[in-house]
Structure 1
């Protein structure tokens, strides 16, 4: 079973890249973030022609998440239950017996800002809900753009901005792993300076000046099934790419 996550930074612009990637890799679940479109504008027909169903939680211009699967997903939940939020950042569904939660975590803008306070409240609500979901679904994957680089090695050494690497954000990531979730990427040997996001400016991708902020966390019941997890940098080399690259997990179940 192959599960992937990709912040596409506008599905309207990146749809050809997504269709090509689906055709080449044929994942069992592709979790997309930052769709930047409402459900009524979502390209269901194009994806169905490519062999994929979709469940969507969309929003005009900003945010938006989706899960693409060859067979229809079930038990769909949109948004964090009990957390009042106009921003469309969460969708969950069951795919071949695995509970998949796709999230576009808040950026936070700057430590101490109102947007940072929202990020921390959102993370606390997410953690509480994910704990309850794990009790109901032992086989669970939490994936998406976390907007957190959890360790020093997940950020370029010259990264100076506090956002994404601050102590409160990293503590929130640790609270998720304290539920029993495991960072699948770190189950395997990885190259140094392995990142998933690079700014469009200052030739950041060419210089590999990036952050690893796109993650796949797996529940204890799935840890032994993990066979590989890596960043696919190929789409980042395309014309008009997303600033993120897909992260791909292979499970043997």
Structure 2
């Protein structure tokens, strides 16, 4: 009769099973749902708004466009709050910074849709609604890197390369944020940024935002699998070197 050691842990390189990818699926569904009204806005405003030159916010002046922008923002706001709850439950977030950052992101997404920017032909200084809209849009990009960096610092023994990728992506997103700040802060007081292909840059930034939320969700799924056992982010469970209580293997 011999007793075999049994490894109850997950190998660091073992792929995540579909059952473990809950947060990633959530971002997939919510991200697609958020993109639908944006795509619809592009369709209804195709003859008015140039997607390469004009900002997304100008769809607010197309019939139904304002409601579509608000719907997309609300979906992303709910998604941000869901990810906040899951990152704390998985033990991958500690302290108030991740929660405050993601709540600010959610509020910013709502404000972007609730307060439209000024019409494109308005030559007077920006209205209060336009200021709130533009500062909120820039703020949403500013806080997301903080969420990723906070999660990455919490993980002491990563199972995968996702935390490292999250840190690298946070730095890359920080570069995008710097560009966004230059653009949107200039738009606070001026109707035209003067930047060539500004609309295209803004749309690429929106896609990057969704991709970054995907990365956060994947990190929650991959690195927080032991959260219920009280050992989140601690790497795979060590193999057992003693006999199992279920009895020996003959």
TM-score, L = length of structure 2: 0.26
- Of Structure 1 and Structure 2, the greater helix share is in 2
- Which structure's relative contact order is higher, taking Cα pairs within 8 Å and 6+ residues apart? 2
